[in-house]
Amino acid sequence: MSDKVTTIVEQLVTPIVSEMQLELVDVEFKKEGKNWFLRVYIDSESGVDIEDCGTVSERLSELLDEKDPIPQAYFLEVSSPGAERPLKKSADVEKAVGKNIYVTLYEPINGEKSYEGKLIAFDGVELTIATKQKTRVIEVVIPYEKVASARLAVVF
């Protein structure tokens, strides 16, 4: 059900964000407590502001009212993914080279199921991350197929 809704919403919102020269980062349709939430995450190289979110929300809301693909009541939220944005597609990972990321894995590599560090390289098949291990920095090569989730990481 939620996969079908997210697919339909992606098809509806993609032309809107493309026309506004924005990027569609993700679409989620989740039940939290008694309420359903349709969340659309947008971004751009220069970032997004409240006006961008409002415009996308208004235009998408009109299309959703017209097409009515979601039978139950829900809340629509359009926002930026924030500083720790998820890296959903390989293209997202490619853009993150040179930045700090956090990845979780389906199975351990060197006994670890998560790594945080600077993404040094990504060739579409493997990620190379420079990560701190006690007092030294080591490079870890991770097959992309073993990545369960990845996101940008803010370093303090």
CB 102 within 8 A of CB 116: yes
Parse the chain into domains and list their residue ranges: 2-79, 90-152
Helix axes 50-67, 2-19, angle to 10 degrees: 130
Per-position b or e across 67-98, b if 16+ CB within 10 A of its CB = eeebeeebebebbbbeeebebeeeebbebbee
Q: Which fold has domain 90-152?
A: SH3 type barrels. (2.30.30)
Q: What is the mean pLDDT of the chain?
A: 92
Rounded average pLDDT over 1-23? 92
Say whether pLDDT at 1 is over 70.
no
**What pTM does this model have?**
0.72
CA distance 130 to 103: 12
Say whether pLDDT at 118 is over 90.
yes
Query: Considering the domain 2-79 in this protein, what is its CATH number?
Result: 3.30.300.70
Confidence of residue 88 (pLDDT cuts 50, 70, 90): confident
